[in-house]
Each structure stands twice: as structure tokens, then as C-alpha cells.
Amino acid sequence: MATAEVYVCLPSDYDEGKHILSWALSYFSKDKAKIVATFIIDNLAPNHRQYNAFVNRWMDETLKKHLDQCAKQKFKVEKLFHGTGDLVEGILELIDLRVIRYLVIGVSPDSEVLERVKEKANPSCKIWFIQKGKLIYTRYPKSDLKEATSEKLQRMEKLHQREIEEIQKRENDKNDLLKRKNEQLQLENQLLRNQRNENLIQLEDLNKQKQLIQLQLEKHIHDLEIDYNKLKEERNNAIIEAQELRKQKEHPFPNSDVVLSSHFSLSELEQATQNFSDSLKIGEGGFGCVYKGSLRKTTVAIKKLNSESLQGLSEFQQEVAILNRVRHPNIVNLIGSCSEISTLVYEFLPNGSLEDQLACADNSSSLTWQARIRIISEICLGLVFLHSNKPHLVIHGDLKPDNILLDANFISKVSDFGISKIIKQSDTNTTALYRTTHLAGTFAYIDPEFLSTGELTAKSDVYSFGIIVLRLLTGKRALNIAKEVQEGMRAGRLSSIVDKSAGKWPFDLAEKLAILGLRCADISRRGRPNMSQVWAMIEPLVNATSLSSFGSSTFNEEHVPSHFICPIMQEIMKNPCIAADGFTYEAEAIKAWLNRGRNTSPMTNLVLSHHDLIPNHVLRSAIQEWLDQHPQS
């Protein structure tokens, strides 16, 4: 169909004709056909007077656009006008007249043109019927198939044997090329699919990383919020603590029975310690150093604060506040202080600390089991006094053998109140506690609930006391001692874990001490007794050893304990009272001393800050108990 002519019947309406012509140009674009733009003018014969006028007008308005359309797509074009009285008759006449082989004609949906032309047109003409720019029917000529087959056979007969091979080779080459292209396309498609899968995997990994980063970011933000709230709480607590320290410094105790210690000048302390000579140094810690000195003809211990220790300053102020308040035979006696260099002056206790005795420092002999029971009772009485003090109870907060000192008669005294807390007792049953985020104390002795909650209560001292009891019983180190004693008791081998250097322990006493220590060192605060309940358990043990709770480690049943004796009268006291110097006297004797116009201490020669006397009920009970057990002849 390389040189075929295609007749395209166009209507007078340009828009309708445009779609018909567009379809023809598209369909025959590869066949290099010649387009014959045909316009059949029905109801007008060629000799009609209006025929030429109509043709001219159609040429000007419509045909030019159709010709331009063909020219743009590089089609050869010819125009043809045919006048007739009837459209279908005109088409049929034109097919016969021009021997048309290919015809494109537009039909409307309700037109009878298709049926009439299909039936009556010359059978040799192939006709395409177009409706709204789309092919709706093709009428094929009856001779197409036969003629095409005959023509192909004739061409094949004319070709040489070599030409057929060349054609076949070209066909094979073409097929090979197509096959290679197809394989290439398949390979490229496979590569694209692989790349797509890799991209999907990478995208999935990126999404997982994004989710992980998001989770990490959320956790980081959450942690920052927790840290912020924690820091905010610590700041608020620090402010509260600073305010409390300021109030305590100004008014440490609101009630009127405060006993104030003496004030010493820097020059007095330098003279007492030979200008703080290293030869007189008897102790050293994070707070500073302790020196032995002679002050106003009295041997004393002088604790000098390290000037660079900010924490030590607050502990210095706290210890002054507490020891100015409390006086008890089993609490170290604060004689005075020096604010110029933050120095505290205590009574001198020559036998060091309980830790020194347990370690047998300086080759000292081991404490007997009787002495250990007595020391336990003395520590207990000191804590009972602190916890029952009104209206402000005192929580020690760092109870351990290092902070239990022993005097010349091995009487134990609780010391080092730097991190202790003064808490106002409530009128209700609410547990008095101190809440802080600044945890302090010695790990092996510190209350586990205080570590987890930051709440310091009197039961925190009970826990530390329980560990000390177990140490005195076994002589073992404090860490994990409760677990070790508990396992030993369960296995029935308590006798194998008690400290045999203390002598032969009575089994029932050792067992009761072990049970007491474990109860006090219970992990849960609720499982521990208070110190008054502890004393109710300890007192029978003391009686069982025939020892006074205030007897010495070398006690003789016929010998009266020295602290039962009034320093003035040198007789057993009946009504002991604590004076402003911290020493206990018979009430009648110290009153007579004061009534004679004396304003200095009978023991230290220092000026008494006041003349108030505090009844020492605990010592009075101990004296009466001793007298009941040792009737005088």
C-alpha cells in the first residue's frame, strides 16, 4: 500500500471532519499513502448555480485547515469535490468513477449510511467507518485474502535461491537482535528489580533506624526530664537545708533548757596544742584533725576543721547545735568551741574508738563478751535518750564503731554528730523523718531504705545499731554480716561464728544477741523495733551477766562504778543532775556549790553559762538497779 490513494470523505463541519482526518492520518502514517480530501456535496449538482459558490466558501473556511493538517504530518494531499443529489449515491458513484480501493468515511450514530454503503459499495473497495474520531467498523474487500496470497507466491517465485537465504538470514538476524534486546531488557528488568529490592531493604533499615533513634530520643528526653526534676528537687532540698541550718545557727533549740558550751579563743587552743603540733595529733579524717591538749588544767580532745572543707563547716555547726542540747553519760561531752577557726573541744577519752578495740590496736587485749554486752547496752541507752528527746528528737545518721569512743573505764560514748538531724516530734502517730537527696553515712552501716527513699528516720539508727551488735558478737567485718549470721543460725552453727577471742560465750546469750542484731538490721524499716523496744530486750541480758549497764569492762561486783560517785561529795548519788558543764552531780551538792556564789564548774574551773540543772533519770535508774543487786552492809 506504499503508493495507494486513500479517499477521506469530509463533512462540511470542520470540527467533525477534523476527527475523521486525524484518525486517517494516524492510521496510514507508516504506509506513505496519498490522502485525497473528498467533499461530497449532496443536493447540489455540479452545474447548479450555487455549487461553485459553496465550493469556494468551503475552500476558504474549512479545506485550508484540513490541508494544513495534512502538510504538518508530511502527507501528499489532493482535494476532490463531487456534487450529487443523494449522499450515499454520490459515495457509490465516486467509488465506481475513481475505482477507489481505500475509503474513510464518517457516520453518525443514527445514520443509515453505514449499512447502505457497506452493502452496495464496489466489493473491491476497503472502507473504514469512523464515528466521533473512533473506528466502529471495517468492510474488507472479498478479494483481499486471495489476491494477497497470490501476489506473495508470485514474488516468492521470482526471488533467487540466494536471495531467499539472505532474506531468511536477515530475518534470523532480526530475530536474534530482538532476542538479544529481549534478553537485555529482561536483564535490565532483573537489575531494576534487584535494585528495587535493595532500596526496599535499605528503606526498611532506615525506618528501623529512624524508629530506634526516635525511641532513643524519647528515652533521652525522658532521662533529661528525670534529671531535671531530680536536680530541681535537690536544689529545693538544698535551699530548705540551708534555711534550716541558718535557723539552727540562730536558734538551734527553741525551748528554754538549752545548755551552752564554753567559748575558747584561738590563742588558748594554740597554747593547749603547742600550736597544733603533729606530735599531739591523735586522729585525722575528711573533716580535719584531732589533737590531744591541756586546756585550763584539763586534758581535752580538740577537733580542728579543715579550712577548705565546705561540708565540714555545716557539720561543725550541726555538732555544736546538737551537743549543746544533749547531755548523757553515753554521749560524748562537748566542753566548748572556737568559731575563729571552727574548732570543737571535747572531753578526752583515752581508750580510743570501739573500732580500735575490735581491731586490738596497739596490741590491746580483746574485749570480753561481758564487756561487749555492757557496751551494747550503753550504746542502746544513748540512742534511747537521743530518740526520746523532746520536743526535738536527734537521729545520729552515721552510727558505727569508729564513732563509739571509750573513756578510761571503757564506758562507751556516742560521738561525731556532724551529719545528725534534729527533727521536731509530731503530736500525731506520723513517723518523724528527714527527707534528702544528699545521702551520707558509711555504706556497710547505712539504712537500705534511706538509700532507696532518701528518708532518714530513727529506725535508720536502729539498723546501724544492729550491725554493731553483730560485729561485737562475731568480730567479723560489717559488709554482708547480717546474711552471714543468718545463714549460720539456719545451719545450726552459731557457735562457730561468734568471736572466740571474747571468751566462752553462753550459748543462750549469744543466740539472743544474734536474733536482736538481725531484727535491728532487717532490710525493711517496718520489721525493726524502736530503741525503747531494743532496751527491753537488752536489759535482761545485762542482768544475766550480773553487770550494771554502766559498769566497767574490768568490773568487780564489790566495786562502785566511778560515775555513780558525785564529784563533789564523793558518795553514791541519789538524785543525779546534769549541770551546764556537762558533768553529773548530786543535786543537793551542786546547788550548795552554786548557792555559795560560785559560777565556775567544779570539774573544769570554766565559767558556767547558766545555773539550770537537768535531772539524769537514766543514771538514777542505773544506780538504783545496781544498789538493788548489791545491797550495802
For residue 104 the three cell numbers come to 474513510
Lowest-pLDDT range of 87-96, 240-249, 483-492? 240-249
Rounded (10°) CA dihedral 57, 60, 66, 69? -170
CB atoms within 10 A of CB 109: 8
Give the largest Cα separation in the chain, rounded. 177
Looking at residue 245, its pLDDT comes to: 57
Q: By C-alpha distance, which of 7, 11, 63 is closest to 40? A: 11
Active site (catalytic) residues: 398
Q: Which three cell numbers stand for residue 365?
A: 587485749
Which whole number is the average pLDDT over 378-407? 88
Q: Which of 33-47, 106-120, 353-367, 462-476 has the lowest mean pLDDT?
A: 33-47
Is pLDDT of 54 > 70? no
Average pLDDT, the chain: 81
How far apart are alpha carbons 351 and 355 in whole angstroms? 11
Look up the pTM and report it.
Answer: 0.50
Q: What would the pLDDT profile of 516-531 be if each residue is shown by its tens digit?
A: 999 999 999 899 999 9
Higher pLDDT, 188 or 159: 188
Cell output for 584: 553529773
pLDDT at 434: 64
The pLDDT tens digits for 169-214 are 888 888 888 888 888 889 988 999 999 998 899 888 888 888 888 8
What pLDDT does 498 receive? 93
CB-based contact 486:522 (threshold 8 Å): no
Q: Is the pLDDT of residue 371 over 70?
A: yes
Percentage of the chain exceeding pLDDT 90: 23
409 or 136: which leads in pLDDT: 136
User: What mean pLDDT comes out for the span 268-283?
Assistant: 90
Q: Does an H or E element contain 118, and which? A: helix 113-120
612-627 pLDDT, tens per residue?
A: 888 887 778 878 888 8
What integer is the mean pLDDT of 473-498? 91
Nearest partner of 419 among 261, 313, 347, judged by Cα? 313
Per-range mean pLDDT, top range of 76-90, 414-428, 500-514: 500-514
Q: Is the pLDDT of residue 259 over 50?
A: no
Q: Poorest-confidence range of 299-308, 345-354, 422-431, 535-544? A: 422-431
Task: Note whether 323 and 417 are within 8 A (CB).
Answer: yes
CA-based torsion, 39, 44, 45, 47: positive or negative? negative
pLDDT band at 7 (very low <50, low <70, confident <90, very high): very high
Give the model confidence (pLDDT) of 551-569 as tens digits: 333 333 445 776 788 888 8
Q: Per-residue pLDDT for 233 more than 60?
A: yes
Judge whether 301 and 282 are in contact, CB under 8 Å.
yes
Report the pLDDT value the prediction gives residue 552, as an integer from 0 to 100.
Answer: 36
Q: Taking phi first (over 0 means left), then psi (-120 to 50 degrees means alpha), and beta for anything else, what does residue 223 get?
A: alpha
Please give the helix or strand (H or E) that residue 341 lies within, else none: none
Q: How high is the pLDDT of residue 557?
A: 40
Could you give the residue ranges of the DSSP H alpha helices within 432-563? 448-453, 458-474, 481-490, 507-520, 531-544
